[in-house]
Structure 1
């Protein structure tokens, strides 16, 4: 059996804000996650604890990349470190094997008039149960696996302070002060075994 849990939404501002989105699943309440940053225009909610026998994507983090100058969007930048609120949390309280996989994909950042290209969200973390979460989530590209279960059961917490953002050069962007760009990040948690006990 395979279940999917999704998170949505990410925004950017020009002076730009970025917001990273919500999470939902079969019979799981939606969650919202945000990421943002501001651009200086110069230069040309956790669900309740899961019941025994379930696999749940409990929460996703919010990222803020601070203030970014318009010139950096025109020329591109690498390694903008995120200020992160919250953590990515997966609970696997099922019997049997723990064989889940988490993937992520991201759309392009857009506002009313622009589409920015070449955004990459770089993730790097170690879960409280020992899994390694790592991956480069590229905009407008297929989903990538960022972490998979190591066979242990319980609540797995991933702190995301090491997340960074890279953006390719966008010289044709038409930027204005306090402009805001938005994208969506989808988190997909799946497993080949049942995600909840049968009745």
Structure 2
């Protein structure tokens, strides 16, 4: 008998609960907030980190021309394709205009006893930021500009897969089997735009 009374009470309470739950809430007005940031030239926590240098020549490539027949050195050759290791990378994260120039010069190819004359390193590449790198770097000659910044900021990567070597005739060269000739290429990055102040 007590069980039936409890059931009846539950039936009576339920409609009252449903009525309270159906009351609508007042509309809430929307609000806005802001987000901002300020610019620093370098990371203030790690100001000496190489990645925070504002204008830097990050890496330069090396070139290998494999084996060359003695007869080709005596007579001269053109268009010897390089096997390139590494890429040319220039980073410019300075504030303001991106204004830089890269030049290159090259010494003569030498071994212990010989110097070969008339070498030309021919460069042709397009950077990841759109600059065109091109030039003929002649041995024992003044540096030549090979690429100029186009105003964009970031890390510019140049793959040097199209580099070739030209060599004038060297009929008087005293050659021996398996001897190796090497040279040094000097890369110089400069700018007329001042670097950003230290953070």
TM-score, normalising length from structure 2? 0.73
Larger radius of gyration: 2
Determine if the alignment matches structure 1 residue 191 to structure 2 residue 163.
Answer: no
> Mean alpha-carbon deviation: is it higher for 116-125 or for 180-189?
180-189
In the TM superposition, what is the alpha-carbon distance from 1:198 to its structure 2 partner?
3.1
The structure whose residues are more often strand, as a share, is 1
1:150-178 CA-to-partner distances (Å, cap 9, x unmatched) read 00000000000000000000000000011
Alpha-carbon spacing, 1:36–1:153, altered in 2? closer, same or farther (3 Å): closer
Alpha-carbon spacing, 1:156–1:44, altered in 2? closer, same or farther (3 Å): closer
> Mean alpha-carbon deviation: is it higher for 1-10 or for 63-72?
1-10
Alpha-carbon spacing, 1:31–1:148, altered in 2? closer, same or farther (3 Å): farther
> Mean alpha-carbon deviation: is it higher for 55-64 or for 28-37?
28-37
Question: d(CA) in 2 for partners of 1:163 and 1:7?
Answer: 93
Alpha-carbon spacing, 1:44–1:33, altered in 2? closer, same or farther (3 Å): closer
Question: d(CA) in 1 for partners of 2:9 and 2:111?
Answer: 13
Q: 1:35-184 counterparts in 2 under 5 A?
A: 50-52=50-52, 54-184=54-184
TM-score, normalising length from structure 1? 0.73
Gaps in structure 2 of 5+ consecutive residues: none
1:12-40 CA-to-partner distances (Å, cap 9, x unmatched) read 99999999999999999999999999999
In the TM superposition, what is the alpha-carbon distance from 1:52 to its structure 2 partner?
3.9
Question: What is the DSSP-based 3-state SS (H/G/I as helix, E as strand, rest coil) of the residue aligned with 2:73?
Answer: helix
Higher relative contact order (CA 8 A, sep 6+): 1
Question: What is the DSSP-based 3-state SS (H/G/I as helix, E as strand, rest coil) of the residue aligned with 1:31?
Answer: coil
Question: d(CA) in 2 for partners of 1:61 and 1:129?
Answer: 18
Instruction: Kindly report the root-mean-square deviation, in angstroms, between the aligned alpha carbons of the 2 structures.
Output: 32.4
In the TM superposition, what is the alpha-carbon distance from 1:75 to its structure 2 partner?
0.4
In the TM superposition, what is the alpha-carbon distance from 1:195 to its structure 2 partner?
3.6
Alpha-carbon spacing, 1:188–1:41, altered in 2? closer, same or farther (3 Å): closer
Size of the alignment, in residue pairs? 199
Alpha-carbon spacing, 1:20–1:144, altered in 2? closer, same or farther (3 Å): farther
Gaps in structure 1 of 5+ consecutive residues: none
Alpha-carbon spacing, 1:107–1:61, altered in 2? closer, same or farther (3 Å): same
The structure whose residues are more often helix, as a share, is 2
